[in-house]
Amino acid sequence: MTASTRSVRPVPARVRVRATPPWWRDAIGVACWVSALVVAALWLRGRGAQSLVAGAGEQLTSLGRLTGLVAADLLLIQVLLMARVPMIERSYGQDELARRHRLVGFWSFNLLLAHIVLITFGYALSGHVNVVSETWTLVSSYGGMLLAVAATAALTAVTVTSVRIARRRLRYESWHLLHLYAYLGVGLSIPHEIWTGQDFISSGLSRFYWWSSYALAAGAVLVFRVGLPVLRTFRHGIRVTSVVQETPDVLTVRMGGRGLHRLPVQAGQFFIFRFLDGPGWSRGNPYSLSAAPRHDRIQITAKDLGDGSGRLRSLRPGTGVLIEGPYGRLTGEHRVGSKVAMIASGIGITPMRALLEDLEYDKGDAILIYRAHSAQDLVFREELDALASERGVTVHYLTGPRGVGADSWLPRHHPQARGGDALRRLIPDLRRYDVFVCGPDAWMDAVADAALTAGLPPGQLHQERFTW
Phi-psi map region of 261: left, alpha, beta (phi>0 left; psi -120 to 50 alpha): alpha
3-state secondary structure of 209: helix
Q: Cα separations (Å) of 22 from 220, 222, 369?
A: 21, 26, 30
3-state secondary structure of 47: coil
**Single-letter code of the amino acid located at 178:** L
Spatial distance between the Cα atoms of 308 and 338, rounded to a whole number of angstroms: 38
Element (H, E) at 137: helix 131-141
3-state secondary structure of 126: helix
Chain length of the chain: 468
**435 band by pLDDT with thresholds 50, 70 and 90:** very high
Please, which residues bridge with residue 366 across strands?
340, 393
Q: How does the average pLDDT of the chain come out, rounded?
A: 82
Of 418 and 455, the one with more pLDDT: 455
Please, which residues bridge with residue 6 across strands?
362
Spatial distance between the Cα atoms of 326 and 334, rounded to a whole number of angstroms: 17
Question: CATH 1.20.120 residue ranges in the chain?
Answer: 23-228
Spatial distance between the Cα atoms of 67 and 51, rounded to a whole number of angstroms: 14
CATH number 1.20.120 is the correct assignment for the domain at 23-228: yes
Strands 366-372, 393-399: pairing kind:
parallel
pLDDT per position as a tens digit, 284-332: 888 989 987 777 888 999 887 665 667 788 899 999 999 988 888 888 8
pLDDT per position as a tens digit, 191-227: 777 666 666 767 778 888 888 988 999 999 999 988 9
Q: Give the least confident one: 107-111, 130-134, 214-218, 359-363.
A: 130-134
Element (H, E) at 74: helix 56-81
Compute the average pLDDT of residues 221-250. Answer: 90
**Single-letter code of the amino acid located at 133:** S
- 457: preceding bond cis by omega (within 30 degrees): no
| Options 3.60.21.10, 1.10.10.10, 3.40.50.300, 3.40.50.80; CATH of 332-463 | 3.40.50.80
> Which of 370, 423, 419 shows the shortest CA–CA distance to 397?
370
Domain 237-327: state its class: mainly beta
- pLDDT value for 7: 43
Element (H, E) at 23: helix 23-45
- What's the pTM? 0.77
- Determine contact, residues 83/220, Cβ cutoff 8 Å: yes
Strand order in the sheet with 297-303: 239-247, 250-256, 297-303
Spatial distance between the Cα atoms of 15 and 382, rounded to a whole number of angstroms: 29
pLDDT per position as a tens digit, 134-148: 888 877 777 677 777
Name, in order, each residue with C-beta under 8 angstroms of 279's C-beta and a sequence gap of 6 or more: none
- Does 336 score more than 90 pLDDT? no
Q: Mind giving me the DSSP string for 79-120?
A: HHHTS--HHHHHHH-HHHHHHHHHHHHHHHHHHHHHHHHHHH
**436 band by pLDDT with thresholds 50, 70 and 90:** very high
Name, in order, each residue with C-beta under 8 angstroms of 174's C-beta and a sequence gap of 6 or more: none
Question: CATH 2.40.30.10 residue ranges in the chain?
Answer: 237-327
Compute the average pLDDT of residues 108-112. Answer: 88
Spatial distance between the Cα atoms of 96 and 100, rounded to a whole number of angstroms: 6
- Does 166 score more than 70 pLDDT? no
Element (H, E) at 366: strand 366-372
Portion of the chain with pLDDT greater than 90, in percent: 20
**What is residue 403's DSSP assignment?**
P
Of 166 and 212, the one with more pLDDT: 212
pLDDT per position as a tens digit, 370-420: 998 888 888 888 889 998 899 999 999 998 887 766 567 888 777 665 678
